[in-house]
Structure 1
C-alpha cells in the first residue's frame, strides 16, 4: 500500500469492518485476531505503516473488548492520523520495553488466534513465549473470505482501477512493438498506468514470441520481431485498489494456428465469465473455461488456475481453481484469465476482472478481446 492514495472510507466504515472481523473470527472458533502491517491492517483501519520493520505493530481484535492497536512510540503520531484511528485505542511502547507482554495482557485469554500471513516469525514466537497457552492460524487459512466481498464503495474503486487499466491498453496498442525490447514496452505500460491514476505499478508483463509460453515472464532485453505473439499482463493500485488485465496482440499478420489458439482462449474466457453467478462454486468457473481448452486438445497447455481475487492487493481470495468449493457471492471480485502456452513457440492469455452481481457477472475490463494487430 506504500504510496497509494487513501480510499474515501470513514472511521465508521473501519469500525464496521473490525466488528465483522470479530464476528467471523468467533464463528470460525477463534478467540480473536492479530493483524500485522499489510493489506489486512490497511483494510481494517486505514493505517498502512511499512511492513518491513522489526518493531512490533499489531491490531488486537478480541470479542467484547475495544480494538487496540499496539504501535512503537515513534510510529504513534502517524497511527493516530489514520482514517480509522478513532475506532481503535492506541497502546504505544518504547524501545527497551517488552511489546509481547503488553500484547499478551490485551488478549486476556489463551486460545487459538488468527494472525496475519505476513506477521514476522520473531513476533509470533515472542507472543507464544509470553502466552504459552495460545496457538495461531493464518488469516488466509482461518478467514479466507474476510476481504472477499466488496461493498459498493470498494466496487466503485475497483471499477475505476479497471477503467484506468483499459485506458492504458487503448494507448499501448498504438505504440510500436516491432524492433523494440520487451522492457521498453513494459516501461511504456508502467508510465501509462501512472498517467491514468495508478500510484503503484505491481507488474508489467511483456512476453513476446517463445517467452509468451511462460505465464509470469519478466520483461527482458529480447527484441520483439515481426511475426511475434505478445502477451501483455499489467496492473497495480489506484486509490488503494487493484487492477489486473491481460490481452495478447500480434506483430503483423498471424498464422492460422495463432488465430485458432487466440480464438480458443477468447472462447474459454467467455465461457468462464458466463459461468459466474451467485451460488456457483468457484471451481465451476475454472471448469467452464478449462473444458473449452481441453475440448480443443490443448488442455495440457493451460497450466494455471483460471483466476484470483482482487481488492487492496492484486492477488487474494477467492481463488478460481479446481477444489475451491466456496460459493460465489454478490460483491466478490476476481480475474477470469485462461491461457494456452506452447513451449518454445508462443502463448495466449486473455484476462478481465469480474464482479459477481445478483444476476450473474459484470466485467470491470471492457477493451476488445479480439486479436489485435500491432506494428
Structure 2
C-alpha cells in the first residue's frame, strides 16, 4: 500500500486532529478503520473483528493499535513514513488495554469515530467509560479540502465526465438497464477510476425512484433515463455525477419540466459562496421548483459532501444552518420524481472558492439525447 500524499500532509492532518480533539473538550479520540483512518494516516480498509485503531490523545503523540498480521501493510503507509508509535497484538491478547495505554490514562471523556462498531465500542466502554462520538472533531478537519484534495476531486470529475460523454452511445432501446449498467461500469474503470462505487440506470418509471440501481427492464423508445454514476480515482477521492437522458424524442411536457430542473440546479450552484448556509443553497433549488408547481416532486436534500467518502459533511439540506467555507466540496443534485411515470436529476460536484464556487463537472446539463 502506498499513500497518495507526502508525509507532511498527513502530519499536518494529525496535528489538526489533535487540536480539534482538545477544542471539543475530549481527552483523546479512537479512530477505527474506515474513511477517517484513511484520511489521517492513509490506512485503508473496513472495520473487522480484530481492532485496528489510531489513538490520538489531546496531549501526546498518536499510536496505532494493529493486529500483528496487518503490521506490514500498516507500516507501508504514512504510519511508517511518519514513524508513528505502533502497538501490535496477536489473538489472545487484549487490544483495548493497548488503547488505554496509548491514551496514557483512563480519560474523563474520549471520542470514537462513527464507523467503529459496537463490537469494539463496548469493550472500550467497559475499560475506559462510555465514549462520545468524535464526529465534531473529525468532520471539521475533513470538510475543508486542501489544494491536493481539490486536485484529486477535479481529476475524479474529469474522469466521470468522460464516462457521461460515452453514455449516449451505450444507452439504446432494446437493451436492459443491467446491460447498460455493465457497459458504464467498464467505462468508469477505463476512464481512470480504480473502483466503481455505484451505477444507477433508471429508465421510464424506474426513474421515479431516486435510489433505483439497475434492473432487467428493457429500455424503450422515448424513455427518460436517469444515469447516476461514480467511482474512486487511485488516490481514493470520489466522483459523483448525474445526467438525465432521453431515448428518441421526449414528451414535450417532460422536456419542459426538466428544463425547470436544470434552472433549479443552476440557481443552487449560483448561490454557493462563503458565508451562505447549506440550507440557503438547498432553498435556492427548491424555490425554483416550487414556483413552477414542482416542489412536491423534489423528494430529497440538494446535496452532500464528497471526498474520500462519496457521502460526507457538509449536507446541503433544509435545516442545516452551517455556513459554507472556502474549500468545502459537495454535490448539487435536485431531482423531480413522478411515480409510475419518470424521474430526472442533475448533479454536479462544486468546490467553494473565495467568492463563489468552481464546478468540477462540465458535461451538458439539459435533457441529453441517447441512441434509439
1:299 has 2:295 as partner: yes
Deviation for aligned residue 1:64: 2.3
1:157 has 2:152 as partner: yes
Q: Which residue of 2 aligns with 1:86?
A: 81
Residues 199 and 228, structure 2, Cα contact 8 Å, conserved in 1 = yes
**Could you say what the CA RMSD is over the residues aligned between the two structures, in angstroms?**
1.3
Describe the SS at the equivalent of 1:147.
Answer: helix
Runs (4+) off by over 6 Å: none
Structure 1 residues 76-225: aligned runs within 5 Å: 76-87=71-82, 88-107=84-103, 108-131=105-128, 134-141=129-136, 143-225=138-220
Describe the SS at the equivalent of 2:86.
Answer: strand
Describe the SS at the equivalent of 2:22.
Answer: helix
Q: Which residue of 1 aligns with 2:339?
A: 343
Per mean C-alpha deviation after superposition, the further-off stretch among 84-93 and 177-186 is: 84-93
Which deviations, in whole Å up to 9, do the C-alpha atoms of 1:127-162 show, x marking residues without a partner?
11112xx33222335543220110001000000000
Structure 2 residue runs of 5 or longer lacking an equivalent are: none
Query: Number of matched residues?
Result: 368
1:67 has 2:69 as partner: no
Distance 2:180 2:13 in 1: 40
Q: Under a length normalisation based on structure 2, what TM-score does the superposition of the two structures give?
A: 0.96
Residues 11 and 85, structure 1, Cα contact 8 Å, conserved in 2 = no
Q: Which residue of 1 aligns with 2:352?
A: 356
Residues 177 and 201, structure 2, Cα contact 8 Å, conserved in 1 = yes
Which deviations, in whole Å up to 9, do the C-alpha atoms of 1:158-188 show, x marking residues without a partner?
0000000000000112224211000111111
Distance 1:32 1:311 in 2: 25
Residues 17 and 137, structure 2, Cα contact 8 Å, conserved in 1 = no
Distance 1:63 1:11 in 2: 21
Describe the SS at the equivalent of 2:143.
Answer: coil
1:314 has 2:310 as partner: yes
Deviation for aligned residue 1:52: 4.2
Residues 37 and 58, structure 1, Cα contact 8 Å, conserved in 2 = yes
Deviation for aligned residue 1:359: 1.4
Describe the SS at the equivalent of 1:207.
Answer: strand
Which deviations, in whole Å up to 9, do the C-alpha atoms of 1:205-246 show, x marking residues without a partner?
000000000000020100000011000000010021000000
Distance 2:24 2:107 in 1: 16
Distance 1:143 1:153 in 2: 19
Within the candidate set 50, 55, 58, 1:55 is matched to 50
Residues 194 and 232, structure 2, Cα contact 8 Å, conserved in 1 = yes
Structure 1 residue runs of 5 or longer lacking an equivalent are: none
Describe the SS at the equivalent of 2:78.
Answer: coil
Q: Which residue of 1 aligns with 2:240?
A: 244
Distance 1:293 1:176 in 2: 28
